[in-house]
Amino acid sequence: MACTGYDFGKDVQNHLDAPMPWIGMYVAAASLICSLAMAADAFHGFRSNKFWFPSKYFSLNATFLALLAVSLKLPVDLTGRMWAVTDRLAKISSLILMSIAIGNFMPSLGSMNDKEILMNVTALGILVLTVIVNVCIQIIQMRHFLDRRLMFAEEIVALIFMFLLLVMLGSLAIMVPTTKKYLKSKYREMLKMASEEELAEMGKLTFDQLRIMVKKYWVMAETSSPQFVIARSATCTASGVICLLIALVLAEARVRTLMVYKTFRRTASYYDSSTNWILLIHSIGVTLGTIAPALRWFTAINFKCSEGGKKSTFKDELKIETYWTQMLDEWKESSLSWHIRDRKWRKLLHDTKRPMLSFFVGVQSMVVLASKLVRLISVLFMSPIISCFHNMRKLKNVSDSNTSRVHQVSESGSNTEPDLSRYVLLLEGEVLLPQKTLQNIWNQVDKVIQIGKRQQPKNLIDLLKKFGDFRGVREFDCDEVPSLHIHEPPNCWSLPLVTLTSIAIALPNISTHNANRLLSSVNEGLFFVKLVEKCLDRHGDLVSIRNAADVVWVGVELYSKWQDKDLNEMSLKGRESKEILQELSNKAEKTVLEFNRDVKDFLMENPLNWPGKVIAANSMYRICRNILLDYEGDRPWTDEGLFTRLTVMIADILAACLTNLPRVISIKCHRNAINHGPKKARQAALLLGESREILQILQQHRTPRGLHPDHAAYIEKWRTFREQEN
């Protein structure tokens, strides 16, 4: 019976162990995803010349914490038989990969709010401490066999470094909220200083002036980015040294193993050959993941050793700025957030809180001091080597720099640009960034503008060359057309454009080429028009009007239909333009009148609450009736002549709307928040490049004098102003 029981238990165990190689492959797959994400961040940093390597793909969140928990399956396995060389290497590489991941997580704290930082750092701490406890339990339980435990020293070093990196991440998490408040305050002050002159000259800004303006805000956005601030902090740069050292620990373990055992492929665990894949992927992940932290450290050291770095005393280098401990100090002095009625308990908890937070302040100060000491030692050690390379590079590039300077003069027409270094946002104790770093930031603006230039709307530019003096803004509608309702819905820029284009392509005897070209031109123009409307209609008063235009345009552009009218069929030969205008007008009038007759809701008395179909129909009715008035006058229009007139009218409306582009670009810069500043600044630079020729065309026809910039944002204000002029 004992033998039978033993056989049964062994059979059950074999069935339980059978899927372990597949679980090992699952661990390898999770590790591969993390490794690729870290590699993607490194590639993004090189590609964008951001050698502080922002966390764009690999960040501290639930997804990557779950993947890392899977990749740590081997170290937390207390019962697995993992004493062979490959098993031990795979276990240690798991710990080292986790350490490298923590080093890559650090900049991502800048993109989180306070609650996200607390939750994610707490979750990471629980994960790391769980791993440490599991490994320690296994060491204690196997203490009688430590003499046979391969690479025990490397395992302990990996645990120590992993815990140190967790502490450093926690140190940064305490610093980030205070730093963000300081950056927001300083950003607002600098924004106010930068915008005073521009608002007065907004209607007169040239392309070059707008380029300088975008550069100015780009510098502010980049240097105040919380991720950049964290990446250049002492703690984050010091973590690069630890990541580099721990990667060398894995390399040493692999080399020593190869020299002693002559192979890596020796396993005794139930994970079988999957440990080979885990070890391979972990090694690749550690190598790729070390790039970003190590280069952050090297960039900081290079800056300190360069001529651009400000020379400071030993005392200044080791000074602990207030923002590192300010949040802890505020917590220590603040009252308890819990509502406890008993005064004695409140006093006891408050007295307990103070020494506890004092201890954490001391730990925080030690971490920051140690990080600054590591950076200082690195500078002293690396300074001779880096200085030697700097001198060699200067001697080599003297002639190249002269040639480049001449080329820059010929490109820009001047050899100087305004000094934008005063728009760099720095924390307390930080010295000015090196000129090369600032130059990389400025060059990014020009690169994005060049990308925008290659995407300029050619059809729209050709259409804008036809506009005259904005007369179409006033002429597309007139007061002589009787209203269908006691309240007229207001116009936005896009609605008359969509309506006029629908009429133009429905006219007979117009070539398909001309109709399609107009359609493409207006489609390109509506992209910029929508930007203007969305940006300048701050209160959203015209949202329903814009939505009506969007719905109509989808039918016109994709299906050549205005509501249920096929515009291609209407333009068949044999019909007159007047007949088509009358048919569109009657259809629109019928739609509005039926709505007014059937709807009794008092809310619909406000045209802004009308359905989009009715708003679009009212616009079609008024514009068609306005054009028909000309037919009844002394100037009958031919089909081609009417098409040309509508084209010019469309160009006038587009031109009037796009005179707001400089203001839109400025507002995009002004509305930058420190978390999304670089993204908004990039959008402004891209828009500037896309609208270069548009701005040059519009500069030949300035906005009418006396029209307030706030009024220029609305077509109704333009019409009122033009009527008063006449």
Looking at residues 579-590, what average pLDDT do you find? 90
What pLDDT, on the 0 to 100 scale, is given for residue 300? 83
**Residue 405: per-residue pLDDT:** 45
pLDDT at position 354:
83
**pLDDT at residue 408 is higher than 60:** no
566: β partners: 561
Neighbours of 414 (CB within 10 A): 9
Asked if residues 665 and 214 have their Cβ atoms less than 8 Å apart, the reply is: yes
As a whole number, mean pLDDT of residues 463-476 equals 84
Q: Which band of pLDDT confidence, cut at 50, 70 and 90, is reported for residue 682?
A: confident
Structure-model confidence comparison of residues 551 and 401, the more confident one: 551
pLDDT of residue 208: 85
- pLDDT for residue 542 is more than 80: yes
In order of 172, 335, 363, 368, 515, the CA distances from 325 in angstroms are 10, 18, 10, 10, 67
Stronger pLDDT, 301 or 41, i.e. the higher one: 41
Answer with the residue of higher pLDDT: 106 or 337. Answer: 106
User: For residue 307, what are its two tokens?
Assistant: 């001529």
Buried b (16+ CB within 10 A) or exposed e, 286-311: bbbbbbbbbbbbbbbbbbbbeebbee
Q: At what angle do helices 612-631 and 577-598 cross, to 10 degrees?
A: 140
- Residue 713, pLDDT > 70, answer yes
Using the structure block, give the residue that is written with the tokens 């950003």.
187
Does the pLDDT value for residue 84 go beyond 80?
no
The answer to whether the beta carbons of residues 330 and 351 sit under 8 Å apart is no
Per-residue pLDDT, 125: 95
Which of residues 316 and 639 earns the better pLDDT score? 639
String of b and e for 85-100 (b: at least 16 CB within 10 Å)?
Answer: bbbbbbbbbbbbbbbb
More confident residue, 442 or 236: 236
Asked if the model's pLDDT at residue 205 lies above 80, the reply is no
Contacts of 228 (CB under 8 A, 6+ apart): 52, 54, 107, 110, 222
Average pLDDT in the 342-370 region? 84
Strand, helix or coil for residue 561: strand
Q: How far apart are CA 224 and CA 677, in angstroms?
A: 8
**Lowest mean pLDDT segment, chosen from 20-34, 166-180, 391-405, 685-699:** 391-405
Q: Which helix (H) or strand (E) holds 392?
A: helix 343-396
pLDDT top residue among 20 and 364 = 364
**Per-residue pLDDT at 590 exceeds 60:** yes
Query: For the segment 163-182, what is each residue's pLDDT rounded down to a tens digit?
Result: 999 999 999 999 999 999 88
Model confidence at 62: pLDDT above 50: yes
Q: Say which range, 104-118, 461-475, 489-503, has the weakest mean pLDDT.
A: 461-475
pLDDT tens column, 129-138: 999 999 888 8
Q: Residue 212 CB: number of other CB atoms within 10 A?
A: 15
Instruction: Enumerate helices (H) and strands (E) in the chain, giving the number of each.
Output: 28, 2
Q: Which residues contact 683 (CB under 8 A, 6 or more apart)?
A: 668
pLDDT at 157 over 80: yes
On the question of pLDDT at 200 being above 60, the answer is: no
Show me where the domains of the chain are located. 9-176+227-454, 458-653
* Separation CA 547–CA 616 (nearest Å): 10
- The model's confidence at residue 628, banded by pLDDT at 50, 70 and 90, is confident
pLDDT at 601: 66
The pLDDT score that the predictor gives to residue 350 is: 72
| In contact, 309 and 434? CB cutoff 8 Å | yes
Among the residue ranges 58-67, 439-448, 479-488, the one predicted with the least confidence is 479-488
For residue 196, what pLDDT band results from cuts at 50, 70 and 90?
low
- pLDDT higher at 613 or 606: 613
Residue 15 has pLDDT above 90, yes or no: no
For residue 477, pLDDT beyond 90: no
Separation between Cα atoms, residue 50 and residue 46, nearest integer Å: 6
pLDDT confidence of residue 415: 43
Higher per-residue pLDDT: 406 or 377: 377
pLDDT digits (tens, 9 = 90+) for 563-574: 888 888 877 756
Average pLDDT value for the chain: 83
The H or E element spanning position 566 is strand 565-566
* pLDDT of 417: 65
List the structure tokens of 615: 């708003």
Tell me, what's the pLDDT at 406?
41
Tell me the C-alpha distance between 405 and 354, whole Å: 60
Q: How far apart are CA 108 and CA 123, in angstroms?
A: 15
Predicted local confidence at residue 569, as pLDDT:
82
Tell me the pTM. Answer: 0.82
**CA atoms lying within 13 Å on the CB side of residue 541:** 11
Q: Give the separation between CA 191 and CA 206, rounded to whole angstroms.
A: 21
Residues with Cβ < 8 Å from 718, sequence gap 6 or more? 470, 473, 474, 656, 707, 711, 712
pLDDT at position 468 is 75
Q: Which of 45-49, 63-67, 433-437, 661-665 has the highest mean pLDDT?
A: 63-67
Tell which wins on pLDDT, 283 or 5: 283
Q: Collect all residues with Cβ–Cβ distance below 8 Å to 436 and sequence separation of at least 6.
A: 306, 308
How far is residue 478's CA from residue 480's CA, in Å, rounded to a whole number? 5
Share of the chain above pLDDT 90, in %: 35
